[in-house]
Amino acid sequence: MGRALLYLFLGLALVFFLLPVYLVILTALKEPAKITLDAVWRWPDPLYWESFRIAWEAFRPKFQNSVVLAVSATLISAFIGALNGYVLAKWPFRGANLLFALMLFGMFIPYQSILIPLFQFIKAIGLYGTLGGLVLVHVVYGIPIVTLIFRNYYSEIPDELIEAARIDGAGFFGIFRHVILPLSAPAFVVVGIWQFTQIWNEFLFAVTLTRPESQPITVALAQLAGGEAVKWNLPMAGAILAALPTLLVYIFLGRYFLRGLLAGSVKG
Amino acid sequence: MRDRILAFLVLLPSLVLVGIFVYGFIGQTLWVSLTDWGKNPAQALALRPELRFVGLENYRELFTGFVDVRFRQSVVNLVFFTLFFMAGSLGLGLLLALALDQRPKGEGFFRTVFLFPMALSFVVTGTIWRWLLQPQGGVNVLPTLVGLPPLPFPWLTTREQVLVFDWNRLPFYTALLVGLVLLLVAYGAWRGGERRRLFWSLLSGGVLLLWAFTLGSRVQLLPYPEPHGFSLALIGVILAAVWQMSGYTMALYLAGLRGIPVEVLEAARVDGAGSWQLYRYVIFPLLAPITLSAMIVLGHIALKIFDLIFAMAGLDYAPTDVPAIYMYLLAFRGNQFAKGAAIGLLLLLLVALVVVPYLASQLRKEVRR
């Protein structure tokens, strides 16, 4: 009896979570003329793959922007995070904790409170409307979270290891290079996944700081779906394209995805 | 010694960048919010705009000015959105976690499905749900699949409001609410035997309530009544947001449930606790800290919500407006930078109220450890 109720509840939950996916796929595979409101749930017959081709052509430049943006900003911020975390975990100085707390606050601020000066600043240094400007912004506002994750990870590495390396004559960078870095792979994976997902999915900075030629895919999708004239097969195919990279990351690296999620909220 | 200096130098660029991009920019936003930048359209986009200091004028206008009625509705929307979104995500997340904690068959599959929306962007979620919530399609025609009549609800386009109140009563309600919360704190302090806390919370709560029922109920923010309420067009947005985030609370709660030592549960059972008592007196109290962290995270996501509403309803649709949207509209479409900055700072204030005590307590805990 209890067991049956349990499965009933899980089944209903499954429907709630998967119904939107079903509708998206089905709409993307439908001929535009057949997308009428009263027949939304009917499975397309025949399957119409053309929408994906059209959406891919329309979205390819934006998709490429997103790839360049997310990959480069992720790599840079992982590197910065590793160094910062190393310093805070293994070379703390007086007041380091306070500075770290002040840094962490930057993770929580609503970006509306810095958006206007940021916009002015990016314009003033000539990076408005460029991918470079967006990379800079994501790297800077990513500093708190990447530092947090690496710091928590490195504080688990025993200090004796560092001491031993120091007695052997290794310096600050030597220890980082030969002791810390070889142990860092899991932290890099967590930070990489976290940053890639965040940056790929980000919207506010992207819509404020780009021009059409430098738009990432989220902005293009929001604008396409917001237009009234468009048939729904294109936004749906576009949504699938925009979701695919982060979904693949989630499916294949789910364990690390979850770890980053928990690290980013509760702190480790 | 050389290494210590090196370490500091490595951290320095990040400190400087965060210093400028977070604290410097917040300072600049504060300054802009105290000027008239954008009042005069000719000056708004000037290369070197002439800014006049106007004090708190922008803030006053937002709360009591004639033109900013939309801002006030956006604040009301934000409050309701935050409440229902948090309640929905926490409730559904807890239920899902409790169900999965029974170790059903295919547990890993269920977990993967419930969590996948987290990997999507709010823009994708918004685009999908916008389509699901079309008035004559999507969710509304689902009942016809089993032979029932379609739902008539215009999800995102309704202008209907419930729980309507007069904006002029805002000071009264705010004081009432804060006063009651303080009395609750006082009650907790009384039970915990903390005399000082009891005294101060009782005193401040009492004063607030006294003010609410005497002067506070007579404060007039506007010369006319202005009704605001829970805009029903938000229900669809809340639904989409819960869809996206309840997997996250599920993950948190599940980790918490799995972290409860078996000995604790067995001890309670030996003491004769039934399964309901086990939840009520052992498991739920142990999950309370998780609920608190989840509330902080969800709360600050809710306060910042922008992309989901942008994608679902667009910028120009007042019934689903929130301050983040209105800020963008004012500053980057209307070039009213001063007022936009004021909204940005109000949002910061709200988030800080939630996050700073949390960060402080976390750090104190860490120092103690």
Distance CA A90, CA A104 (A): 18
Residues in a beta bridge with B228: B165
Does residue A216 carry a pLDDT above 90?
Answer: yes
Sign of CA dihedral B79, B83, B88, B93: positive
A residues 186-215 closer than 8 Å to B (CB): 197, 200-204, 207-208
Contact: B127, A238; criterion CB under 8 Å:
yes
More confident residue, B289 or A76: A76
| Residue B2, amino acid | R
Contact: B22, A114; criterion CB under 8 Å:
yes
pLDDT the model gives residue B79: 94
Residue A266 confidence class, pLDDT cut points 50, 70, 90: very low
pLDDT the model gives residue A164: 92
Distance CA A152, CA A157 (A): 10
Chain A residues near residue B21 by CB distance under 8 angstroms: 106, 114, 118, 140-141
Contact: B131, A7; criterion CB under 8 Å:
no
Query: If 0-12 CB within 10 Å is exposed, 13-18 middle and 19+ buried, where does residue B312 land?
Result: buried
Average pLDDT of the segment spanning A23-35: 87
Average pLDDT of the segment spanning A50-65: 91
Radius of gyration for the alpha carbons in chain A, expressed in angstroms and rounded = 23
Which residue in the block uniquely carries the two structure tokens 């003491």? Answer: B271
pLDDT the model gives residue A229: 56
Which residue in the block uniquely carries the two structure tokens 């604040």? Answer: B75
Does residue A268 carry a pLDDT above 50?
Answer: no
Distance CA B103, CA B111 (A): 11
Q: Which of B320, B239, B311, B302 is nearest to B74 (CA)?
A: B320
CA distance B5 to chain A (A): 10
Does residue A117 carry a pLDDT above 60?
Answer: yes
- CATH entry, A52-262, from 2.40.50.140, 3.30.70.270, 1.10.3720.10, 3.40.50.2000: 1.10.3720.10
Distance CA A241, CA B331 (A): 31
C-alpha A263: how far from its chain's center? 14
Contact: B136, A37; criterion CB under 8 Å:
yes
Residue A264 confidence class, pLDDT cut points 50, 70, 90: low
Chain A residues near residue B112 by CB distance under 8 angstroms: 251, 254
Q: What interhelical angle do B284-304 and B337-368 show, nearest 10?
A: 150
Average pLDDT of the segment spanning A187-196: 94
Which residue in the block uniquely carries the two structure tokens 């009263």? Answer: A38
The DSSP string of B282-332 is IIHHHHHHHHHHHHHHHHHHHHH--HHHHHHH-SS-GGG--HHHHHHIIII
pLDDT the model gives residue B316: 87
CA distance B195 to chain A (A): 31
Distance CA A66, CA A61 (A): 9
The CB-side HSE value for A156 (13 A sphere, CA atoms) comes to 10
Residue B214 dihedral angles phi and psi, to the nearest 5°? -105, -85
Lowest mean pLDDT among A205-219, A226-240, B227-241: A226-240
A residues 4-33 closer than 8 Å to B (CB): 6-7, 9-10, 13-14, 16-20, 23-24, 27
Q: Which of B223, B221, B365, B237 is nearest to B302 (CA)?
A: B237
pLDDT the model gives residue B305: 95
Helix (H, G, I), strand (E, B) or coil at B34: coil
Contact: A103, B18; criterion CB under 8 Å:
yes
Measured CA to CA in angstroms, residue B45 lies from B10, B284, B306, B332 at distances of: 39, 55, 25, 11
Residue B316 is encoded by which pair of tokens?
């120009």
More confident residue, A262 or A176: A176
pTM for the full predicted model? 0.92
pLDDT > 70: what percent of chain A? Answer: 96
Distance CA B161, CA B151 (A): 19
Q: Which of A20, A204, A247 sits opposite B307 (nearest CB)?
A: A204
Chain B residues near residue A150 by CB distance under 8 angstroms: none
Q: Which of B110, B145, B236 is nearest to A15 (CA)?
A: B110
Measured CA to CA in angstroms, residue A174 lies from A152, A153, A165 at distances of: 21, 19, 9
- Answer whether A254's CB lies under 8 Å from B136's CB: no
Chain B residues near residue A13 by CB distance under 8 angstroms: 92, 96, 99, 110, 114
Q: Which of A110, A236, A247 sits opposite B324 (nearest CB)?
A: A110
The DSSP string of B180-224 is HHHHHHHHHHHHHT-HHHHHHHHHHHHHHHHHHHTTGGG--SSSS
Q: Which of A200, A59, A61 is nearest to A134 (CA)?
A: A200
Q: Which of B258, B318, B311 is nearest to B69 (CA)?
A: B318
Q: Which of B21, B310, B362 sits opposite A267 (nearest CB)?
A: B362
- Answer whether B253's CB lies under 8 Å from B279's CB: no
Residue A11 is encoded by which pair of tokens?
């089944």
A residues 30-89 closer than 8 Å to B (CB): 37-38, 40-41, 80, 83-84, 86-88
Residue of B nearest to A228 (CA): B314
| DSSP classification of residue B229 | E
Q: Quick check: A170 contacting B, CB < 8 Å?
A: no
CA distance A91 to chain B (A): 6
Does residue A145 carry a pLDDT above 70?
Answer: yes
Q: Which of A113, A243, A266 sits opposite B29 (nearest CB)?
A: A113
Chain B residues near residue A103 by CB distance under 8 angstroms: 14-15, 18
Which of A113, A181, A205, A211 best tests the B interface by mutation, with the highest count of B CBs <10 A? A113
Q: In sequence order, which residues have a C-beta less than 8 Å from that of residue A42 and are 6 or more positions away?
A: A26
Helix (H) or strand (E) run with residue A96 in it: helix A96-108
For chain A, give the number of residues: 268
pLDDT the model gives residue B118: 92
CA distance B76 to chain A (A): 18
Q: Which of B126, B290, B324 sits opposite A112 (nearest CB)?
A: B324
Q: Which of B6, B324, B363 sits opposite A101 (nearest CB)?
A: B363
Helix (H) or strand (E) run with residue B164 in it: strand B161-166
Lowest mean pLDDT among A29-43, A123-137, B184-198, B244-258: A29-43
Q: Which of A103, A218, A250 sits opposite B123 (nearest CB)?
A: A218
Residue of A nearest to B142 (CA): A41
Chain B residues near residue A43 by CB distance under 8 angstroms: none
Residue B354 dihedral angles phi and psi, to the nearest 5°? -85, -40
Q: Where are the domains of chain A?
A: 1-48, 52-262
pLDDT the model gives residue A97: 87
pLDDT the model gives residue B368: 61
Give pLDDT tens digits along chain B (369 positions).
788 899 999 999 999 999 999 999 999 999 999 999 888 766 666 667 778 899 999 999 999 888 899 999 999 999 999 999 999 999 999 999 999 999 999 999 999 999 999 999 999 999 999 999 988 878 888 888 888 888 888 888 888 888 988 898 888 988 999 999 999 999 988 998 888 889 999 999 999 999 988 888 888 888 888 899 999 999 999 999 999 999 999 999 999 999 999 898 889 888 888 888 888 888 999 999 899 989 988 998 999 999 999 999 988 888 999 999 999 999 999 899 999 999 999 999 999 988 888 878 777 776 665
pLDDT the model gives residue B272: 83
* Rounded-to-5 percentages of helix, strand, coil across chain B: 75, 5, 20
